[in-house]
Amino acid sequence: MIEIRNFGKHYGDFVAVENLNLKIGAGEVFGFIGPNGAGKSTTIRFLATLLRPTHGEATIAGHNVTDDPIAVRRSIGYMPDMFGVYDGMKVWEFLDFFAVAYEVPRNQRKAIIGDVLELLDLTHKRDDYVNGLSRGMKQRLCLAKTLVHDPPVLILDEPASGLDPRARLEVKALLKELRKMGKTILISSHILTELADICTSIGIIERGKLLLHGPIESVYRKIQQHRRLELRFAGDPAPGVSLVRSDPHVQSMQEGPRGVTIEYSGGENEVARLLHQLVAGKVGLLSFADKEPTLEDVFMMVTKGLVT
């Protein structure tokens, strides 16, 4: 549904994005992850037909972003990272404005706006002025306007930035709803917990380079070899710590007053063997936890160059 080939954007001598290649299939929710200034918005603005590339090309729903921007705009709902709302406009008028811009037929507009307001839980704000809405509501409204022409693809640049925890959860629930409706979604964020349970695939970008991308399970599988083990001991931890230290798969170890946290390069069989040795060694093992990697771990490992 989205395909980017060899995209690059330079500003003078500064390379904002270089040689970016990416394919996102229909129905995927792709999390575009990277720190500030990594090149996420640059890539997104290119896809949204708002930025000319220095080199490369992209297609969305089969339409070329540079050669056929009108067809691309019909196929996408775009939410920029910064957006303004018009003064003196009511919520329904704001949505109607975009529906007209997207050439939604007059006789369908009222029903569509009603549906979108319902989906975004904004029905009760229908006749409120847009500039009087809270930040969270404005954000929801901006998401609502991406849906009025029912595009198959949504491109959302940090849709939950600046929202309080409750509003973030609401955005997350909404994205799940849109995923169920079969939309293909590209969503950028630097808040990883936000993306972990909604994305089907992720890409990690840093300093203009896409370091890693793929289905979320395959990314997790790649870093399974770098798991974190947390061990607690009853009483003196020294005997347990020395047994752990002798394991060749221990990459690093942080000692606390009652136990250790280790970065471990072995697979499941090695973890099981270590556990067996600790129990057989009678070292007073109180707990042994094999921590699943989080998206944050993935991000740290990829950007440290530990996983490619």
Ligand X SMILES: Nc1ncnc2c1ncn2[C@@H]1O[C@H](COP(=O)(O)OP(=O)(O)OP(=O)(O)O)[C@@H](O)[C@H]1O
Residues 94-113 that bind ligand X (CB under 6 A): none
What is the sign, positive or negative, of the torsion defined by CA atoms of 255, 302, 11, 155?
Answer: negative
Token duo for residue 133: 């809405």
Kindly indicate which of the ranges 9-17, 148-156, 256-264, 275-283 contains the residues binding ligand X, using the contact rule CB under 6 A.
Answer: 9-17
Nearer to ligand X, 74 or 207 (CB): 207
Strands (E), the chain: 2-11, 14-24, 29-33, 55-60, 63-64, 76-79, 153-157, 184-189, 201-206, 209-215, 227-233, 250-255, 259-264, 285-291
Least separation in angstroms between residue 109's CB and ligand X is: 33
Kindly indicate which of the ranges 19-27, 32-40, 135-143, 266-274 contains the residues binding ligand X, using the contact rule CB under 6 A.
Answer: 32-40
Determine if 303 is a binding residue for ligand X (CB under 6 A): no
Nearest to 130 by CA among 118, 112, 117: 117
Residues 189-208 that bind ligand X (CB under 6 A): 190
Kindly indicate which of the ranges 10-18, 117-125, 127-135, 234-242 contains the residues binding ligand X, using the contact rule CB under 6 A.
Answer: 10-18
Angle between helices 216-223 and 295-303 (to 10 degrees): 70
CA–CA distances in Å: residue 275 to residues 47, 153, 248: 49, 47, 14
Least separation in angstroms between residue 17's CB and ligand X is: 7
Residue written as token pair 């590209």: 186
Residue written as token pair 């709803």: 177
Nearer to ligand X, 14 or 308 (CB): 14
Nearer to ligand X, 14 or 70 (CB): 14
Kindly indicate which of the ranges 31-39, 70-78, 245-253, 270-278 contains the residues binding ligand X, using the contact rule CB under 6 A.
Answer: 31-39
Number of residues in contact with ligand X, rule: CB under 6 A? Answer: 13
The Cα–Cα gap between 173 and 179 comes to 10
Determine if 81 is a binding residue for ligand X (CB under 6 A): yes
- What secondary structure letter does DSSP report for 219? H
Nearer to ligand X, 1 or 38 (CB): 38
Least separation in angstroms between residue 193's CB and ligand X is: 16
Phi, psi of 60 (to 5 degrees): -130, 125
Nearer to ligand X, 36 or 308 (CB): 36
Site string for ligand X, 34-53 (x = CB under 6 A): x-xxxxxxx-----------
Determine if 156 is a binding residue for ligand X (CB under 6 A): no
Kindly tell me which residue out of 1, 16, 122, 171 binds ligand X, with binding defined by CB under 6 A: 16
Nearer to ligand X, 83 or 86 (CB): 83
Q: Which amino acid is at 188?
A: S
The Cα–Cα gap between 277 and 245 comes to 12
All residues at 6 or more sequence positions from 103 whose CB lies less than 8 Å from its CB, including other chains: 149
Nearer to ligand X, 76 or 122 (CB): 76
All residues at 6 or more sequence positions from 79 whose CB lies less than 8 Å from its CB, including other chains: 142, 143, 146, 154, 155, 156, 157, 159
Least separation in angstroms between residue 276's CB and ligand X is: 46
Binding residues (CB under 6 A) for ligand X: these are 11, 14, 16, 34, 36-42, 81, 190
